[in-house]
Amino acid sequence: MPLTRKAYRAAILHSIADPAEVGIEASYEYFEDGLLVVDNGKISALGHASELLPTLPADIDITHYQDALITPGFIDTHIHLPQTGMVGAYGEQLLDWLNTYTFPCESQFADKGHADQVADIFIKELLRNGTTTALVFGSVHPQSVNSFFEAAEQLDLRMIAGKVMMDRNAPDYLTDTAESSYLESKALIERWHGKGRLHYAVTPRFAPTSTPEQLTLAGQLLTEYPDLYMQTHISENLKEIEWVKELFPERKGYLDVYDHYQLLGERSVFAHGVHLCDDECARLAETGSAISFCPTSNFFLGSGLFNLPMAEKHKLNVGIGTDVGGGTSFSLLQTLNEAYKVMQLQGARLSPFKSLYLATLGGARALRLEDKIGNLQPGTDADFLVLDYNATPLLGYRLQQANNIAETLFVLMTLGDDRTVLQTYAAGNLVHQR
C-alpha cells in the first residue's frame, strides 16, 4: 500500500500527564503554531511548525487552519446506545426512571432494523461531538451490539461495547438468563473482540438486575478471554444502594458485590460512583479499576455530586462519561462545563487542563489505551479534532478577550458544544465535517 502522508497546521494542544500528579504546567504540551504529521492513520510527528517543516518533503499535503485548535479525539467512558431516543425524559430519579422510560425504550432493540437505524444516528452524533472512542452499553439484545460494531467497523473507529446482561428485576420482555447471557456474550466476543479497532466489554447492567449466577458467569468470561473490558454501574443513587444491601446482605457493601464476583480489574469501568466511601475508592485503586464521572447525568437524575478530589487522593483512574440518556448531552465539552460546576458546589476547582485530561488522556488511561489514543504522541492512532474558535458569534467574540491557552480552553469548555467541532478525524480519515 502506498504511504499516505498528510500534515495539519494549527494551534495544537494535548495532555501528557495528570495535573493532579505533575502539576498543571507539566501536564500538557501546547504548540501555538503546531504541525501534526499523519502517516497511514497514525501520528508520525508533532511539534512546532517552524521546526518540523524543514524536515518534510516540499510537496507534502498540508491543511492549514486559522483560529482553530487541534486536540486528541474525546473519549466518552460511559454511554448507552439504546437510550439515544430518550434523552431528557422528565421527572424521575434512577429506579423509577429505569422502569418508566428506559426499559420500554430499550425493548425496541429486539428489532435489528431499529438497532441499525439508531446505531447510525448514535455514531454520527458521537463524531459530530468529537468523540472518537466510547465505552458503550448496548441493550440486552445481541443485535444492538452487532449493529453498533458493524457501523463502527465501516469507519475504522476505536470503540468498546457490550450486550447488557440482566436476568432479574426487569420486565420479562427485557431479561436474559444467566446461561443465555453468557453464551450470547461469548458469541459477540468471538465475532468482535480485537477485530480492527473494536473491543468487547462484559456488561452486567448493575448488581440489582443480575442474579449471583449471572455475576459468576460474567466473572468467568473475564478469565476466559484476555484484555476484555467490564462495565457496570455503581453507587449512583441512595435508593439503589439500599436495594443492593437488601439483595446482597452477605456482602460488605456495593463494591464488595462486584469484588466477590471478580469483576474488578484494570479494564473494569464503573459508572457514577457518586456515593463511594474511602475504602471503596482504595479498593478500586488497588485493583486498577476506573470510575466514569458522569456530571450531566448525576445532575439530571438528581443522583449527587461526584467527589473527584477523593478519587485523586486515592490515585484512582477517572474518565468522563456522558451517560446518555441519563446524561443530557453527547458533547464532552458540555459535560466538562457541568463537571466544573460539580466541583464549584463542593468548594473545589476543576482546571481546564484537568478537564482536558479527563476527556482525553485520563479516559485513555481508564481504558488502558494510552499508548493508542488520548494524546498526540507519535505512534498513536490519528484520532483528532479541529475545534473552531469562531463556531458561534459569542464564542468568537469571547475568545478574542482570552489572553492565553488556559483561558481559551476554559471558554471552549464553557461555551462549546457540537458546533465547536469543525472536523473529526479517526485513524487519519475525516469522519465528520461540520
The residues of the shown chain that bind ligand GUN, judged by CB under 6 A, are 80, 94, 98, 102, 205-206, 233, 236, 297, 323, 326
Size of interface with Zn ion, in residues (CB under 5 A): 2
The DSSP bridge partners found for residue 318 are: 291
Residue 106 sits in the site that holds Zn ion (CB under 5 A): no
Q: Judged by CB, which is closer to Zn ion: 8, or 137?
A: 137
Residue 259 sits in the site that holds Zn ion (CB under 5 A): no
Q: Judged by CB, which is closer to ligand GUN: 244, or 308?
A: 244
| CA proximity to 82, closest of 142, 169, 158 | 142
Stretch that binds Zn ion, among 23-31, 190-198, 323-331, 335-343 (CB under 5 A): 323-331
Q: Quick one: what does residue 205 bind among ligand GUN, Zn ion, none, with the CB cut-off 5 to 8 Å set by partner type? A: ligand GUN
State the Cα–Cα distance between residues 331 and 334, nearest whole angstrom.
5
State the Cα–Cα distance between residues 232 and 258, nearest whole angstrom.
9
List Cβ neighbours of 130 (8 Å cut-off, separation of 6 or more).
73, 74, 331, 332, 333, 385, 387, 418, 420, 421, 424, 432
Q: Judged by CB, which is closer to ligand GUN: 76, or 323?
A: 323
Least distance from C-beta 226 to ligand GUN, angstroms? 27
Residue 323 sits in the site that holds Zn ion (CB under 5 A): yes
Least distance from C-beta 309 to ligand GUN, angstroms? 23
Q: Answer for the pair 288, 270: CB distance below 8 angstroms, yes or no.
A: no
How many Cβ atoms from other residues are within 10 Å of residue 220's Cβ?
A: 14
Q: Judged by CB, which is closer to ligand GUN: 138, or 428?
A: 138
- For β-strands 268-272 and 290-293, DSSP reports them as parallel
Please report how the helices 112-128 and 142-154 are oriented relative to each other, as an axis angle in degrees rounded to 10: 50
Q: Judged by CB, which is closer to ligand GUN: 70, or 164?
A: 164
Least distance from C-beta 132 to Zn ion, angstroms? 20
State the Cα–Cα distance between residues 399 and 222, nearest whole angstrom.
47
Q: Answer for the pair 326, 206: CB distance below 8 angstroms, yes or no.
A: no
Residue 280 sits in the site that holds Zn ion (CB under 5 A): no
Least distance from C-beta 207 to ligand GUN, angstroms? 9
Q: Judged by CB, which is closer to ligand GUN: 80, or 283?
A: 80
Chain residues binding Zn ion by CB under 5 A are 271, 323
